[in-house]
Chain A
Amino acid sequence: QKEVEQDPGPLSVPEGAIVSLNCTYSNSAFQYFMWYRQYSRKGPELLMYTYSSGNKEDGRFTAQVDKSSKYISLFIRDSQPSDSATYLCAISGNTPLVFGKGTRLSVIA
Chain B
Amino acid sequence: IAGITQAPTSQILAAGRRMTLRCTQDMRHNAMYWYRQDLGLGLRLIHYSNTAGTTGKGEVPDGYSVSRANTDDFPLTLASAVPSQTSVYFCASSVGTSGGDTQYFGPGTRLTVL
Contacts and interface: CB of A to CB of B under 8 A. Distances in A.
Interface of A: 6, 8, 30-32, 34, 41-46, 49, 51, 88, 90, 92-97, 99-102
Nearest to B102: A46
Contacts of B102: 34, 46, 49
Given A95-B99, A97-B99, A42 B107 contact: yes
Contacts of A32: 98-100
B107 A43 contact: yes
Contacts of A49: 100, 102
Which A-B residue pairs are the 4 nearest by beta carbons? Answer: A92-B99, A43-B105, A101-B42, A32-B100
Interface of B: 4, 33, 35, 40-43, 45, 48, 58, 90, 92, 97-100, 102-108
Nearest to A41: B108
B43 A31 contact: no
Contacts of A90: 103
A45 B98 contact: no
B90 A51 contact: no
Contacts of A6: 42
A46 B103 contact: yes
A99 B42 CA distance: 7
B41 A101 contact: yes
B100 A43 contact: no
A93 B100 CA distance: 8
A34 B105 CA distance: 14
A15 B12 CA distance: 39
